[in-house]
Structure 1
Amino acid sequence: MQLLRHTLVHRMPLYVFLGVLFLVGVVFGALMVNALTLEQQQELGRYLNNFFVSVGQDGGAADPTLTKFWEIASLHLKWAALIWICGLSVIGLPGILVLNFLKGVLIGFSVGFVVGQYSWRGLLFALVSVAPHNAVVIPVLLVCSVAAMTFSIQMIKDRMLLTRRPSGFVKPFVSYAGLTAVMMLLLLGSASFETWVTPVMMRWVTPLLTSAGAA
């Protein structure tokens, strides 16, 4: 906890920078919806309609299993692992920025398309299906990203100063790996919510969407 508090307080400029970058990605993803052709929008609309009907009729996504949990968890853990690996190398620093921007694009596109298709009903669906678990996932990935950037920048400084003391490298590396491991545990908790709670919330909302599609 002390390490996390230190990271939050002393790395605030990096948090602000990455937060803005993520928001830019969200806006860019939402604008990408307007770039879709009419045929592409109709195809995605049909897919969503079929998905909502399946959820409303037979539970569809509301029949969670342990396999489903690990599918969701592995997706989040792989994203955090990519950020961690990028932080281990000097050339991986731009990759951290790209991953944060891309995460924003994916969320912005998903929410933007659903809202564009279903108006306030789509916004309601996004609030129950996208927002809850991402309220944990996004801050966790930001913490991982800031830790990765901090470690990578420190490696750059050490190389520029030609400081190659093994003892001076071990402690920052252990702290970096330990913080990432804690964040991954939080991602597992988010995956549990997404697996067993989110589908129930989706079943409450999908009748509104299927009726809108039928209309």
Structure 2
Amino acid sequence: MTVGTIRPGGRTARVRAAVLEAAADALVEGGFDRLDLADVARRAGAGKTTVYRRWGTAAGLVADLLADMAEQSSPRTDLGSLLEDLRANARLVQRTLTDPRQGALFRAVIVAAAGDARAAEALHRFYAVRIAEWSSCVDDAVARGELPGGTDGAEVIRAVSAPLYYRLMISKEPIDEAAADRAAEAATAAARAGVFVRSAGAVE
């Protein structure tokens, strides 16, 4: 996933890509508290009026940045095995969080979401998209008979990434491939044991 990649779509798309790239740079350098739309406009070579009119606030800019990141995220794999699919998911998260730019960007966005409702909603939407895409590998595993019926795919995917985000934001321990593989293996074992089977009457 590369934030701010310019895609076809004319001048409006090019301006959006430049502004989002500049916003990502500013977040990495100074965090959400120092994110300033005028500075972003300057970095992007865009008019301040255009930036203020389209995004309005720093939270609005973060929301659109997250939407763009969701659009550009790598698609899920289909390796024919739950463990291999979850390992691929964990390693994708691991590579993202250990990338100097992407890891810093996610830390900044998570901090922003902790104190701003609009940023929090945008972050929730971002992960909802990614979890929905990857949870289909759990549905496939149920169909193959690898997992019990009623297994909640979203909960399985959350269980894979949660230990890696804990390392990013709380413990600051290394986020290496070994940690990613352990997270995938633990989630697979728990899913096979029925830990993530929805209880009767559970709401989707």
Normalised by the length of structure 2, the TM-score is 0.32
More helix by percentage:
1
Bigger relative CO (Cα 8 Å, ≥ 6 apart): 1
**Whose radius of gyration is greater, 1 or 2?**
1
